[in-house]
Structures are given as structure tokens and as C-alpha cells.
Amino acid sequence: MSKKILTVDDSRTIRDMLKLALSDAGHTVIQAEDGVRGVEVLEAAGLVDVIITDINMPRMDGYGFIEHVRSGTSNRATPILVLTTESEPAKKLRARNAGATGWIVKPFNPDKLLAAIRRVSP
């Protein structure tokens, strides 16, 4: 089933890789390069099925973005996955406390990415 997925990451490389993996699996991808833009894109898009966001970003970081989404209305219950690297357990915890549903470890491979999505989205 095709899902609508929002990806938020300041790295063009990561955005491209996510888009490639997700659209190959038949999903629709919309993108933003930081939290502020993510909020704008989300407002225009309405409801999305999954949100994937990085943590370190300019203007508004991942934590701020997650908190914003969770305090809003439309996407309050939308699963949010954070992109994190192996050695950042403290960041994972903080993201979860902000309201993240789960995480994907960088570098990710498409299979892991899709498995994580399956785990949080029907």
C-alpha cells in the first residue's frame, strides 16, 4: 500500500537516498530541509502516513520539530521515526521523550528502513 511519507533532513544526500528507497517501494515522498520548512510542508500537506526526521538541522532541529508535530492536531498521532547514528543513545532517548515513535540507524539500508516503517504504520 502506498504511503505518503514526509522526510526532513538537512543533508541532500540523505534526502535523495530516502526518496530513492521509499519511492522504489511505491511510496509518495515529500521533503523538507529543516524543521521550519518541515512544519510548512506538513501544514500544506495535511495528513501524512509517516514522518522521518533527522535530529541535527539548522533553524529548527529534530526535537523541536517532533514536539511541534505532537502538539498540533492533524499529525499528532502520525508515527515519527528519527534518523540517528549508532553512538547516540542519549539523543535517541531525548527524541523519544519529545514524542518520537521509533528510530532508524544511519547508515540505513532500504530493508531496515521499510521494516521500521512497517512496524509503525499499517
Partner 1 sequence: MDPMEAIKQTYFQECDELLLAMEEGLISMENGEADGEVINAVFRAVHSIKGGGGAFGFEALVGFAHTFETVLDMVRSGTLAASGDVVKVLLRAGDKLADFVAAARNGSELVTDTDVEAELTNLSGATDEAEKAAAAEMESLQFTPVHVDLDDEPAPQRPADAWKIRFAPHADLYAKANEPFLLIRELRTLGETEVGADVSGIPELASIDPEQSYLSWDIVLRGCPNRAAIEEVFEFVSGDCELDIQEELPKPTVDIPVLPDEAQPAGTVIVQVEKEQIEKKSAAVQLPTENAPKQTIRVDLDKVDRLVNIVGELVITQAMLTQRVMECGQARTTAVAAGLNELEHLLRELQEGVMAIRTQPVKSVFQRMPRLVRELAAQTNKQVHLVLEGEATEVDKTVIERLGEPLTHMIRNAIDHGLESAEERIAAGKPAEGTVTLSAEHRGGRIVIEVSDDGRGIDRSRVRHKAIEKGLISPSATLSDEETDNLIFLPGFSTANQVSNISGRGVGLDVVRRNIVDLGGRIVTSSTVRKGSRFSLTLPLTLAVLDGMIVAAGDQTFVLPLSHIVESLLPKASDVRPFGSQGRLLNVRGVYVPLVSVGELLSVQRSLSDPAAGVVILVESEGIGRVALAVDAIVGQRQVVIKSFESNFHHIAGIAAATILGDGRVALILDIDGLVARCREAANRSTELQQAIGA
Interacting residues of 19 by C-beta distance below 8 A, sequence separation 6+: 7, 29, 31
Cβ neighbourhood burial of 5 (10 Å; 0-12, 13-18, 19+) = buried
Residue closer to partner 1 (CB basis): 1 or 73 = 73
* Distance, first Cα to last Cα, the chain: 9
Among 102, 111, 112, 113, binds partner 1 (CB under 8 A): 102
Per-residue interface string for the shown chain with partner 1, residues 10-49, x marking contact by CB under 8 A = xxxxx-xx--x-------x-xx---------x--xxxx--
Q: Find out whether 31 and 6 touch, Cβ atoms under 8 Å.
A: yes
Contact footprint for partner 1 (CB under 8 A) = 4, 10-14, 16-17, 20, 28, 30-31, 41, 44-47, 56-58, 70, 73-74, 77-80, 83, 85-87, 89-90, 92-93, 96, 99-103, 106-108, 118-122
